Amino acid sequence: MVGLGSPDRGDDAVGPVVARRIADLHPSGVRVLAHEDPTDLVVSMTGASAVVIIDAVLSPGSAPGDLIVLETGEGVAPLPEDAWARTGRGGTHAFGLAAAVELARALKRLPPRVVLIGIAASGFEHGEPLSPGVADAVNRATAAALDALGVAAPGVPAR
């Protein structure tokens, strides 16, 4: 499980916040990472059977805190452009989630199952906290990530 984002840039911190929440639960068999740079994803995904990635996304038409869940993986056709558009193709990064996933695919390093959980964001200002809508989504995103991994965790409401 990878929480992607910058911990000091408003809603961009939601990926690491969810990763920390999951790490604190100590789920058996789950490796939890937090990365600021999506280029690290290619190496992080190599050799895994399944990866869940949480990231703040700019998604037109979505309210802050809405979850956008996409699934892909090795042996599955690449997601169409309009699917990535729902996550704001580049995410909040110049080299974004879509590029990292497709680079891993091209390098034959994409796991069989990759679940992308985007959380619609509203602000990325340096030093700002999570916006209210995104902060409210942390428990839902945590539950969605654990569900995608097939892990039950006490104290985390089912989605």
Residue spans per domain, the chain: 2-149
CB distance 92 to 59 below 8 Å: no
Low-confidence ranges of the chain (pLDDT < 70): 82-95, 153-159
pLDDT at 93: 44
Of the candidates 67, 49, 156, the residue with the CA atom closest to the CA atom of residue 120: 67
Fold that domain 2-149 belongs to in CATH:
Rossmann fold (3.40.50)
Residue bearing tokens 């409210």: 136
CA 158 to chain centre: 18
Q: At a CB cut-off of 8 Å and minimum separation 6, what does 17 contact?
A: 3, 7, 130, 138
pLDDT at 107: 92
pLDDT at 103: 87
Read off the pTM.
0.87
